[in-house]
Amino acid sequence: MNLKDISTSVPKKDHKGKVSGQLPYISDVKVENMVYGVLVRSSIAYGKILSIQLPSLPKGYEAVGADHIPGPNYVKIIKEDQPIFANEWVNYIGEPILMLVGKDLDVLYGLLNEVKVEFEEHQAIYTLDEAINQKSKPGVTMASYEFGENLEIISAIEQGTHEIIEEEYNTGYQEHVYLEPQGMLAIYKDDEIVVQGSMQCLYYIKNALLSALACGDDEVRVVQSPTGGGFGGKEDYPSMMACHVAVAARAVKKSVMLVFDRSEDMVVTTKRHPAKLKYRTALDQEGNILSMCVDVFLDGGANAGLSSVVLQRALINSAGVYKIPHFHAKGFCLKTNTVPNGAFRGFGAPQSFAGIESHLGHLSKLAKIDPLEYKRKYLVKRGDPTITKGKFRDPILMEEMIEDLLNSSQYQKKKEEFLRYNQQNHRYKKGIGTSLFLHGCGFTGNGERDHIKAKVRLVKSKDGKVSLKISNSDMGQGILTTLCKIVAKELDLPYEEIVYPYPDTKEVPDSGPTVASRTTMIVGTLLQRAAKKLKAQWQPNVEQEVVENYVHREMIPWNELTFTGDAYPAYSWGVNFVEVEVDTLTGMVKLEKVYGNYEVGKVIDERIMKGQIDGGLAQGLAYGYLEKMTSKQGRIQQKSISDYGPPTSMDVVSIESRVFDNPYADGPYGAKGAGELTLIGGAPAVQAAIENALQTSYQQIPITPEVIMESLWMEEGADG
């Protein structure tokens, strides 16, 4: 198949394997001399390990712990605060202390129940509110940043203002609910250990293993298995599991498999950070914004992980898509003795957009102006500065996207219809809500240039087949297909002639992690450039290889200390409209219609983009009104999918979506990032729709039936 238009859909590279069920995931793999591992975990939130008593272990069963780690006992991420095996202090319920390994899982689980760990328990920090109250204590603040307008200037503005509105907004946990739980296998060989499993970032894992095993580069190899979903949950967490299996494999000289079942996965793996956002906004008599101060607090859980970077992105998105005069933001990521929180699609932006969209919606009610009309007054335009003193350089199509949805959804007509319906209907109330959002593509600031330094390789065989040698993982988002299309089109070869084997660090250079909506835009561009080189020097019946390195786009330099400069080379944009019906007797929310307009430069495959839109919206909407996860005294309460309540096919309605063409000069065929953008607008739009239906305001997500019923009872109490 030769590609005339890059956007035309093609069969996905992994389509047959997935549809037939033949594609082996990590738990399907069996190798010679393989044993299983189970983890002995902390039963307390914070304390000292005094003693560990093991039962008598049958022949062939062994215990592996901190003493078996050849290198330092921490998982190499950003900070050195996450032990591979806790051997002195434990910081959260579920923290790994030891691993028991052996042939039979039933025997291992039986032995697990007989392990006795004695602790000296200390006072834990269980909630974000407790951490905020203790943030000046040593060790509680994991990261903090501040930027924006001088506070003295803002104070002077507030002195002469008509009104100051202060509002607090809370967002909860979100669980990734990837189809395939976490799983990792270390294959033991005399001269090397091969770690394979479900993962997003091969070189993150390789670097963690080099540190833990204190070994040479050629003694460790990391291979991605087909991966059943990641959403960020397989960005940072697999590094710890990889250390567990590799240390164990080296200790027992056997291959070691560690696979979680769903309940273990839900209780101990990273989540989306719960957040508290505080707004202080000065208004004039007409309700216009004169200044705004935002404080962002993230619950980091017990270890820092990637939280500092999540906080950075949350802050960079704290003003939404708006040019707000005299804006100031500061943020803190705080430690609690709960399961560590980590990467999740959107990476801090969904919390910020839920907050700022809600806050502007509430300000519009005070000004007695339609929320969308109010927001449009503040929309950024091309050439405007970003809140970090960068610049929006490229065309911004938000106005066209909004106008298109106003027409296709018949917004004004619906609002009037719903108002009449709600006046006549006592039990059911209908509402429509909107959200406006963006997402910066790629790593923040100089991340690509200074830290990632991506490199790609193309290898042509004698028979003319071209292989992609990159470290990026397909986890269902479709890059096996889209990146092959980019190379096929540039080489003018049939799509079938391009192959993209599952990456293996022995074979592929470090092209960076599969995160931050960077793969198509950054890695795709490098592959396009490499393909152009290969085409120019193509020789039939000869093996050839080309390498391409990342080149940084000239922008306003990023300064991480002052939080100034261009945070991203490009932005993708979106608008969501959502219609709901709320049952005031039960508090149940029913989605009626969902609309999404997006601008992601140029689409590389229409069907894959539609999958990103439908999946992202399902996840984002659920974050707003369905998915509730809580921690009580440091223990996650939801241990199964049915307890947690992600959307089923019954909850997802028809999604009417459109993608606007706006090719980006530095992206392959004009493409920008798309994967995270599609989630971000769901929660604020569904909140706005529920508020419109019930003529009330909420200061949190998720807005569950319990939250709705409580607000209705309070209103009845106030009226009665």
What was the pLDDT predicted at 135?
97
190: CB partners within 8 A, 6+ apart: none
Give the integer Cα–Cα distance in Å for 624 and 701. Answer: 5
What was the pLDDT predicted at 1?
73
677: CB partners within 8 A, 6+ apart: 437, 438, 439, 517, 572, 573, 574, 598, 600, 616
Mean pLDDT within 440-457: 94
Mean pLDDT within 476-482: 97
- The phi, psi pair for 344, rounded to 5°, reads -155, 130
Indicate if the pLDDT at residue 719 is higher than 90: no
Strand partners, 116: 53
CATH 3.40.190.10 fits 275-443+562-719, yes or no: no
Mean pLDDT within 556-568: 94
**The two structure tokens encoding residue 512:** 């960076």
Q: Given pLDDT bands bounded at 50, 70 and 90, which one contains residue 2? A: confident
Strand partners, 258: 184
What was the pLDDT predicted at 3?
81
What was the pLDDT predicted at 360?
98
The number of angstroms, rounded, from the C-alpha of 123 to the middle of its chain's C-alpha atoms is 31
H-type helices in 367-478, by residue range?
A: 371-376, 398-409, 411-424
Q: In CATH, what class is 15-23+447-549?
A: alpha beta
Mean pLDDT within 394-407: 98
Instruction: Concatenate the DSSP letters of all residues of 319-350 into one string.
Output: TTTB--SSEEEEEEEEE-SSSPP---TTTTHH
Q: How many CB atoms lie within 10 A of CB 202?
A: 29
C-beta of residue 554 within 8 angstroms of C-beta of residue 411: no
The reply to whether the predicted model has a pTM over 0.95 is yes
Mean pLDDT within 530-539: 98
C-beta of residue 684 within 8 angstroms of C-beta of residue 354: yes
DSSP 616: H
Give the integer Cα–Cα distance in Å for 519 and 672. Answer: 9
Give the integer Cα–Cα distance in Å for 33 and 190. Answer: 13
What was the pLDDT predicted at 553?
84
List, for residues 625-682, the tens digit of each pLDDT value. Answer: 999 999 999 999 999 999 999 999 999 999 999 999 999 999 999 999 999 999 999 9
Indicate if the pLDDT at residue 34 is higher than 70: yes
What was the pLDDT predicted at 169?
98
What was the pLDDT predicted at 639?
96
Taking only Cα atoms into account, the Rg of the chain, rounded to an integer number of angstroms, comes to: 26
Architecture of domain 31-123+179-268: Alpha-Beta Complex (3.90)
DSSP 713: H
The burial class, CB within 10 Å (0-12 / 13-18 / 19+), for 442 is buried
C-beta of residue 558 within 8 angstroms of C-beta of residue 383: no
Angle at Cα 444 formed by Cα 688 and Cα 618, nearest 5°? 35
Q: What's the mean pLDDT when you consider all of the chain?
A: 97
Lowest mean pLDDT among 342-351, 438-447, 608-617: 438-447
Indicate if the pLDDT at residue 354 is higher than 70: yes
Indicate if the pLDDT at residue 151 is higher than 80: yes
Q: Higher confidence at residue 101 or residue 720? A: 101
What was the pLDDT predicted at 720?
56
List, for residues 452-462, the tens digit of each pLDDT value. Answer: 999 999 999 99
The number of angstroms, rounded, from the C-alpha of 107 to the middle of its chain's C-alpha atoms is 36
- The phi, psi pair for 641, rounded to 5°, reads -65, -35
**The two structure tokens encoding residue 488:** 């096929």
Asked if 15-23+447-549 and 275-443+562-719 have one fold, the answer is: yes
What was the pLDDT predicted at 200?
98
C-beta of residue 525 within 8 angstroms of C-beta of residue 668: yes
Enumerate the domain spans of the chain.
15-23+447-549, 31-123+179-268, 275-443+562-719
What was the pLDDT predicted at 628?
97
Give the integer Cα–Cα distance in Å for 78 and 99. Answer: 24
